[in-house]
Amino acid sequence: MSINRRQFVGIGGAAAGAAWLAQSASAAAQATAARAPAGAAPPPAQRTAAGYVPVVTPNGSSLPLRVVGRVKVGHLVAEAVQNEFAPGLRAECWGYNGGTPGPTIEAVEGDRLRIYVTNRLPEPTSVHWHGLIISNGMDGVAGLNQRAIQPGETFMYEFVVRHPGTYMYHPHFDEMTQIALGMSGMIVVHPRRPRGPRVDRDFALLTHEWRLDVGARRPDPNEMSDFNVLTFNSKSYPGTAPLLVGRGERVRIRLGNLSPMDHHPIHIHGVSFKVTATDGGYVPDSAQRPETTVLVPVGSTRVIEFVPEEPGDWAMHCHMTHHVMTQMGHGLPQLVGADMSRVDRRMSRIQPGYMTMGTRGMGNMGEMDMPIPDNSLPMRGGPGPFGYIDMGGMFTILKVRENPERADPSAWYQYPPGSVAGPADPDRLRADGIVVEPAPVKSPA
């Protein structure tokens, strides 16, 4: 059963909430490096012998590549995977190498890649290397460029990555089902010769949207409009790993979008950045402009770079407001400002402690700790240093520190005395000429 606001608003008290909400594979043989837990710190920023900083995929991994002759060889296993979107919310999805998204594939301009793909799904599949310009027979569109990979088969893809940039990979067989269930990943091709200012941190974040009804075992790949779980790298806050960076460091974030339907305007607090590349190539310096929000269209990548100047814990999230909520439907009446006291009194005769919700907004729903069904996360965020953070979904935190190598990524920023907004001092108000009129008294209805 899915939960929407009409149902939630009609729920009174903890007992009534429980009554309304009462309804309620295997690991990869070719495992990649362990997927990072939400509190894991990124490794120290060190360049490889090829001159680039390796990409960090928060909550994810990179595909191990071995050199055979002059070819870099990797193995992707398409299979059902168990994914924990956030603590308390799990589902059986489809992915690669034991997780969703699949491991990030990193290469250098001019490399020859040989990627084996084993199909352990219950239906055929293929892999399309989204944005890469390669030979036609390796493009991965089932029926057009190749026959589909049948269950149990292993196919080989081999091509040269000639253009540096940020790309993605995903199936091109039954795309609606397979992509919606989590089959996607990022590809990063580093330039052979370093380009632009030196980068100290390099992150990859793949956005996605899912329909996962309360109590359901699997996401619904047939949904086209009402998505209720929004993720970075298949995690919803508070399951998203923070991005830990140093003040004054140059940071690159590679954003990809293989969501079924929606574009995502990604906004970062506390910094101004420039879009330096798309999946079509680099953006010339003359075309770059400062932004604080970047729109990542469906089927596209955007690369942003910035140098944070202010330390602290800065929010990073999709700015479509319903995309920072979890398992929330939208078919409901408008009750904000409505006087439901008479309804509450009458309903209390049937259900003691009844209280209509939604009359003063929905911001405190997550911290009310009402009983909810197992394996659900309706309107939940997470605890913060000053109270409850009422955003979930496609939300994470950019943690800017003076010394990121020694910083605890799970710790909150320690504010200098006097630097946090708080209640106004009456004497200061008067000295500044601010007069706060008393709130008007409402006449009884």
Range scoring the smallest mean pLDDT among 50-54, 314-318, 418-422: 50-54
In three-state form (DSSP H/G/I as H, E/B as E, the rest C), the secondary structure along 375-440 is: CCCCCCCEEECCEEECCCECEEEEEEECCCCCCCCCCCCCCCCCCCCCCCCHHHHHHCCCCCCCCC
Identify the pLDDT of residue 76. Answer: 97
Name the band, by pLDDT with cuts 50, 70 and 90, for residue 391: confident
Asked whether the predicted pLDDT for residue 3 surpasses 60, the reply is no
Burial 126-149 (b: 16+ CB within 10 A, else e): bbbbbbbebeeebbbebeeebebb
For residue 298, what are the CA distances in angstroms to 9, 131, 219, 255? 33, 13, 19, 11
| The residue count for the chain | 445
- Return the higher-pLDDT residue of 134 and 386: 134
- pTM reported for the whole predicted model: 0.81
CB 61 within 8 A of CB 103: yes
Bond before 238 cis per omega within 30 degrees: yes
Separation CA 188–CA 211 (nearest Å): 28
Average pLDDT over residues 259-286: 94
**Closest-CA residue to 2 (of 241, 275, 324, 330):** 330
Q: Give the torsion through C-alpha atoms of 409, 190, 281, 209, to 10 deg.
A: -40
- Return the higher-pLDDT residue of 189 and 359: 189
Name the band, by pLDDT with cuts 50, 70 and 90, for residue 373: low
Identify the pLDDT of residue 35. Answer: 40
Q: 52-102: per-residue pLDDT in tens?
A: 899 999 999 999 999 999 999 999 999 999 999 998 889 999 999 999 999
Asked whether the predicted pLDDT for residue 310 surpasses 50, the reply is yes
Percentage of the chain modeled with pLDDT above 90: 61
Helices (H) and strands (E) in the chain, counts: 5, 23
Tokens found for residue 189: 């091709």
Identify the pLDDT of residue 345. Answer: 72
What SS3 class is residue 20? Answer: helix
Average pLDDT over residues 418-436: 92
Q: 196-246: per-residue pLDDT in tens?
A: 899 999 999 999 999 888 788 899 888 887 888 999 999 999 999 999 999
Percentage of the chain modeled with pLDDT above 70: 77
Average pLDDT over residues 309-318: 95
Asked whether the predicted pLDDT for residue 382 surpasses 90, the reply is no
What SS3 class is residue 95? Answer: strand
Asked whether the predicted pLDDT for residue 161 surpasses 60, the reply is yes
Q: 245-256: per-residue pLDDT in tens?
A: 999 999 999 999
- Return the higher-pLDDT residue of 366 and 435: 435
Q: What is the DSSP letter of 131?
A: T
Tokens found for residue 33: 């490096």
Question: Which residues are CB-neighbours of 400 under 8 A, at least 6 positions away?
Answer: 245, 246, 247, 270, 308, 310, 311, 312, 313, 314
Name the band, by pLDDT with cuts 50, 70 and 90, for residue 435: very high
Average pLDDT over residues 312-325: 82
Identify the pLDDT of residue 377. Answer: 65
Asked whether the predicted pLDDT for residue 110 surpasses 70, the reply is yes
Asked whether the predicted pLDDT for residue 13 surpasses 80, the reply is no
CB 24 within 8 A of CB 214: yes
